[in-house]
Structure 1
Amino acid sequence: MRAKLVRIGNSRGLRLSKPVLQQAGLEEEVELTVEPGLLSIRPIVLPRLGWEDSAASRSPEGLLDEPTSTSFDDREWTW
């Protein structure tokens, strides 16, 4: 696919059609990677998206392992 760069003030922009954006999974913000002769545009991946809802759906019991002492607890910490 070919596209033209359009002037936007002192910069240049690239118009992408809605079907192209949908096919690539691009929304409001993107991640740009630049290398000589190559510009990559990728969707921003939020690796922890949905964790809060998932944690909220669990009961508070059983989320953490039982506490275990470490060498720091045994030798260096005063309770």
Structure 2
Amino acid sequence: MKASIIRIGNSQGLRIPKSILDQCGFEGEVELIVKDHDLIVRSTKTPRAGWDEAFKKMAENGDDELFETDSPISTRWDEEEWEWK
């Protein structure tokens, strides 16, 4: 997709279509990086931010064990609908 550089006050900018913003998940602030004469627009939000600390806290509390049972849990669908073929 091509976009035109437009004047915005004393600066210049790009209009980014909503569909692209939605696909990238951009909201509010973004990071601009210039690399090898290319402009890279990257989200400032990091996926899974804080997960490491949350997992450490879970381990300290003993909440990080797998949920397993000796026998599988069956549902009504398993009992009434499932058929081996």
Question: How does the TM-score come out when normalised to structure 2?
Answer: 0.53
Whole-angstrom CA distance in 2 between matches of 1:61 and 1:35: 44
Q: Which residue of 2 aligns with 1:17?
A: 17
Structure 1 vs Structure 2 CA RMSD: 3.0
User: Which structure: greater helix fraction?
Assistant: 2
> Relative contact order, CA 8 A, sep 6+: which one is greater?
1
Where does residue 76 of structure 1 map in the other structure?
none
The corresponding residue for 1:26 is: 26
For structure 1, list consecutive stretches of 5 or more residues without a partner in the other structure.
63-79
For normalisation by structure 1, the TM-score amounts to 0.56
Q: Which runs of 5+ in 2 are unaligned?
A: 63-85
Would you identify which runs of 4 or more consecutive aligned residues in structure 1 move more than 2 Å?
45-51
Percent identity (aligned): 47
Separation in 2, partners of 1:35, 1:50:
29
> Per the alignment, do residues 31 and 20 of structure 1 end up closer, same or farther by CA in structure 2, a change over 3 Å counting?
same
